[in-house]
Structure formats: structure tokens, C-alpha cells
């Protein structure tokens, strides 16, 4: 087993985690985090899989990934601006068509019962 195999497996696991997060998360910011994880997994594959030249990664995929990193931060920033706007309009940050805001209150009530949840909530709710 070589280092490449380890990193391919890691990329696959991260991609799977990203897919899971994207499918189950209701909060848009969580979906964005999951998408960014998937992007990182793709970047890792792009660098690890091509043959190395003189012990260094192939420069062409390196340049592609560098471009990808900048594109990822641009699109994330745009998506975050969209999310803030949506939040202002509809009062919550979900885009599931089947999520009812009244039910969100219920879900929140249930999850905020944990002690850590209370601890991290911050000054806003108190």
C-alpha cells in the first residue's frame, strides 16, 4: 500500500461525507460546508491520481486545482450572500420545500435541550 492509495481512500470517504451532509442538512450553510468538502475531495483526487513527474505532482492539475480553489471561494461567498437574503425574507435558512417553519421551531426546541447547546448559544438568545 502506498501513500497514493491512502489519499484516494481518504478522498472517497470525504466525498461520501459531503454527499451525506448535502442530502440530510436542512440549513443552507451546512449544505455549503458539505459542498466544500466534496470539492476538496475532488481536488485531492486530481492531484493524487495523475502520475508524478520527477517526484512532484503534475503542474497542469495543480493549476486547475488552484483555479478551483479561487472559484470555490467566489461561489461560496455568493451563495452565502444569497442565503443571508433568503434568511431575511423567509425567517429561516432551509430550502427544503417540505420543511414547515412551524416544524422547524419544534426541531429547534428538541435539539436545544442539550447542555452544550445551551452553552454555545451565546448572548443573542438570553
Partner 1 sequence: MNAQIVVDIALGLILVGLAAQVALGRHLFRSIVFYVAFGLAMAVIWARLGAADLALADAAIGAGLTGALMMVAFRRLVGIDPEQAQAQMTRHSHVAVAVAALTAGLVATVGLAALTMARAPESAGMQVLARLEETGLGNPVTGVLLVFRGFDTLIEMAVLLTAFVGSRVMTQRSRLNVTTISGFELPLVRTLVAVILPLAVLIAMHLLWIGADQPGGAFQAGAVLAGSGVLLLLTGTLLPAPRSNAMARLALVAGVAALSLLVLVPLSQGRPPLAFLGKGSLLFAEAAMMVSVAVSLTLLFAGAPALKAGRQ
Q: What part of residues 3-42 is at the interface with partner 1 (CB under 8 A)?
A: 3-21, 23-27, 29-30, 32-34, 36-37, 40-41
Q: Residue 123: CB partners within 8 Å, gap ≥ 6?
A: none
Give the span between the Cα atoms of 124 and 115, in whole angstroms. 17
Which helix H or strand E contains 75, and what residues bound it? helix 59-90
How many residues sit in the footprint of partner 1 (CB under 8 A)? 95
Contact 112, 118 (CB under 8 A): yes
Whole-angstrom Cα distance, residue 27 to residue 92? Answer: 8
Among 55, 102, 113, 115, binds partner 1 (CB under 8 A): 55
Residues 59-118, interacting with partner 1 (CB under 8 A): 59-67, 69-78, 80-85, 87-88, 91-94, 96, 99, 104-105, 107-108, 111, 114, 116-117
Binder among 100, 113, 115, 125 for partner 1 (CB under 8 A): 125
Question: What's the closest the beta carbon of residue 97 comes to partner 1, in angstroms?
Answer: 13
Amino acid at each position: 500500500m502506498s501513500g497514493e492509495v491512502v489519499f484516494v481512500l481518504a478522498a472517497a470517504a470525504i466525498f461520501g461525507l459531503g454527499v451525506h451532509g448535502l442530502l440530510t442538512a436542512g440549513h443552507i450553510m451546512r449544505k455549503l460546508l458539505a459542498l466544500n468538502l466534496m470539492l476538496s475531495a475532488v481536488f485531492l483526487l486530481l492531484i493524487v491520481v495523475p502520475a508524478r513527474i520527477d517526484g512532484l505532482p503534475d503542474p497542469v492539475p495543480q493549476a486547475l486545482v488552484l483555479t478551483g480553489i479561487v472559484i470555490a471561494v467566489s461561489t461560496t461567498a455568493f451563495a452565502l450572500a444569497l442565503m443571508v437574503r433568503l434568511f431575511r425574507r423567509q425567517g429561516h435558512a432551509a430550502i427544503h420545500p417540505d420543511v414547515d417553519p412551524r416544524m422547524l421551531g419544534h426541531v429547534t426546541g428538541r435539539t436545544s435541550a442539550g447542555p452544550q447547546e445551551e452553552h454555545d448559544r451565546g448572548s443573542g438568545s438570553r
